[in-house]
Structures are given as C-alpha cells and as structure tokens.
Amino acid sequence: MNTRLGRILSIPSHAAILLGALCLTGCGDSSNPTPTPTPTPGTVLLDTTLTLVAGVNCNTGGVSADFAGTAGRTVVITATGAATLTPRFTLYAPDFATQLGGSSSTGAGASSLTFALTQTGTHHVTACDLTGVAGALRVVVTQRP
C-alpha cells in the first residue's frame, strides 16, 4: 500500500478512537446530579428612583413612594444609592400613620428591610439620608412568592 494512502486511511480510525474515548469519559455520565433550579426572585411591586434633597436628614423630612401590598405576603425593600449616602427608610401601613418597620444598613449607600405585611392596601415607604446628603436613591419592593 502507498505510504501516503496508508496515512490518509488511518486518520479516520484515529478520530473514531478519540471520539469513542471522549464519549466514555463524558457522554451519558449519570453520576452528575440534576441541576438545582434558580429560585424565583419574586414579584416587583415598586421600582423607583427618589431624589433626596441636600440638608434634609431623617429628623427633618423624607421622600415617599407607595406600593400595593397584600396581607400575609412578605416584602423585601431595598434602597441603594451612591456610597456617600446613608439611606434609611420607614415602612408605613395603609393609614400612613402606623410605622411597620425601619431599614437596616447593608453597606455604603444601601439599606434593606424584610417584612411580612398584615394588611392589604397601599403601603408607604418614606426614605431619607441620615446625614442630609443629596442624591438619587433607588427603592425596590419585591414580594416573595
């Protein structure tokens, strides 16, 4: 047989051996568990940006936003802005008089609150900056499934 022809004919057989070896080591391996599904993040009830005014701190005022909440459902409220901000917010019941909870700092320019609602209706979030720094503050309310 011609030497060149022998090399050409041996290439497919080497490829078949390599492909078979790959399948034995990686194809159809049933020892891998089924991947865990990504948890559902929930339903966004509010996603807005509030403007905090310079010189207005949490003792002198704030800016409010509203969302429709359902009794028995848990909401996660986050506020994020520039690292220079020290944002805080208060969650109010539908009567806008009863304070339900207040945020905790989660880092520079961020705070959050997780709360199980006890009433159905329009709830209110009033945000402020602890030191009166001006800036944009993104407020997101997510209802857990």
pLDDT value, residue 2: 52
Where are the strands (E) in the chain, listed by range? 43-52, 63-69, 74-81, 87-92, 99-102, 104-107, 110-116, 121-129, 135-143
pLDDT value, residue 97: 96
Tell me the pLDDT tens digit for each residue of 10-23.
Answer: 444 444 443 444 44
Asked if residues 63 and 135 have their Cβ atoms less than 8 Å apart, the reply is no
Domain ranges of the chain: 43-143
CATH number, domain 43-143, options 2.60.120.380, 3.90.1200.10, 3.40.30.10, 3.40.80.10 = 2.60.120.380
Question: Is residue 78 scored above 80 in pLDDT?
Answer: yes
pTM: 0.71
55: which DSSP letter?
A: T
- Tell me what the mean pLDDT of segment 85-92 comes to: 97
Question: Is residue 119 scored above 90 in pLDDT?
Answer: yes
Tell me the pLDDT tens digit for each residue of 23-47.
Answer: 444 444 444 444 444 444 799 999 9
- Which residue reads 């690292």 in tokens? 83
